[in-house]
Amino acid sequence: MSDTKDLRARSASAAKWSLATEIIAKIISPISQLVLARLLAPEAFGMVATVTMVVSFADMFADAGFQKYLVQHSFRDKKDLHANASVAFWTNFGISVVLWCLIAIFNDPVATFVGNPSLGFPLAVACLSLPLTSFSSIQMALFHRNLDFKSLMPVRLTSTLLNFGSTLVLAFMGFGYWSLIVGTLAANIVNAVGLTLLSEWKPRFFYSFNMLKAMFSFSGWTLLESFTIWLSSWAGTFIVGHFLGAAELGYYKTPVTFVSGCFGIITNATTPILFSSLSRLQFDREEYVAYLRRFQFMVALFLLPLSAGIFVFREPLVALLLGDQWGEATLMFGLYGLVQGPMVLLSYYSSEMYRSLGKPRVSTLVQVMYLVLMTPLMTVAAMQGFDAVVWADAGLRILLIAINQVVTYFVVGLSFGRTMLSLKEPIFCTSMMCAFAWVTYGLASSNWLGVGLDIVGCVVVYFAICFALPKSRRVLLKLVKGGGFKTF
């Protein structure tokens, strides 16, 4: 019991620091995107989306699942942990350098394959991120394992501010998509240097093939899982870019970036904590489930109304955040926001459960099932036009939730009905907020003042109803007093 109390206290501290970091970082990011959306054409964002797809693909293989292994695995002592970290570091770094060299040599064929033949040289430059991120990924994993998010805060904020400043300056100077690439590289350099200086563990010349072999018993499946997740995340981007072009790809991917940034304030702050904590509780079934339920409830209090609000106010939000040239992206913006909250609670968190129990192969199976259905459906939709792609994307995300909930029941023993029952208060409060918005939005949408007042009204109605319900009121009051995360 003392270990569980200690874990809750560490989770509370970690969540506070992680959430504070994400709030600041995610406030800066939308401001940057808001300005850039007016400086750069949709085609530029579409081209950068293509580059990011390739970089993330190569980065996935460079990491090879070592981060999750270091967080999830139980080691004999600190010496054993640090020895495994050194093996993971050199393997990770070596693979990343080889991949960057291959992409640099074959940059034109790779760019042609992903649908942008003119991106060969920018792609080679952007992929310098591979050795940079690999140099800091192991340090990041060790901080996550120890739930030490306080130490990560200054590095994360410095890299975010540098990305923000350098990208905007270059965009104003007319460098187009190069501004986004250079800003990302600058942030990666800061992360590599900062995390290495702050980490208790430092890279040293040690290697053991026996340790590498043991790692791949877990990391091999994790790598395959990461590959399937990458395919699920980027297959739509590839299909849209191939069938529709750079402008439509910008309309498709930019709303995803903006909306994910909003949700990332909460999800990026909490998901590493969930995985680390569940990994420590994997042998205590009762506390494992109780912790998960408390975690889902608290996060749902904020994610569900955010999802509904983005959908209801999608038109003024797109006009405000992106500008008039992005009108075609309005429906994509709204529908992606509507499904993203349930996706986090009922799909993303399911994947964290599988990994925390040492079963990444289950997540791999889920992603393969999803890909088998998603690829042909998205291809058919893309052939019909952009609107069909938008609806197909939303429907497929709901399908992934359904698949994960079925698998969760058979693998973890958690039923969808019990999950919905545990979240009944956030669901009810969100429904009432939507009813209020449905009545008032038509009256308020004629001017910006009316829209602003309507949004404030929705927030007030939502939290007023939350405070009228016992569990929601208890959790929110503890959050206000600064101890809400201890309910975990």
Domain boundaries, the chain: 2-422, 423-488
What does the radius of gyration of the chain's CA atoms come to, in whole angstroms?
Answer: 22
Amino acid of residue 209: F
pLDDT at 414: 87
pLDDT at 58: 63
pLDDT at 1: 47
* C-alpha pair distances (Å), 330 with each of 58, 317, 333: 31, 9, 5
Q: Give CA 356 to chain center in angstroms.
A: 18
pLDDT at 488: 42
pLDDT at 120: 80
Residue 278 contacts residue 292 (beta carbons within 8 Å): yes
Ranges in the chain, pLDDT < 50: 1-2, 483-488
DSSP string, 288-332: HHHHHHHHHHHHHHHHHHHHHHHHHTHHHHHHHHT-GGGGGGHHH
The answer for 273, left when phi > 0, alpha when psi is -120 to 50, beta otherwise, is alpha
The whole-angstrom separation of Cα 192 and Cα 134 is 8
Q: Which letter does DSSP use for residue 208 in this model?
A: -
Q: Is 64 helix (H, G, I), strand (E, B) or coil?
A: coil
pLDDT at 57: 65
The whole-angstrom separation of Cα 149 and Cα 13 is 8
For the question of whether the overall pTM of this predicted structure is more than 0.75, the answer is: no
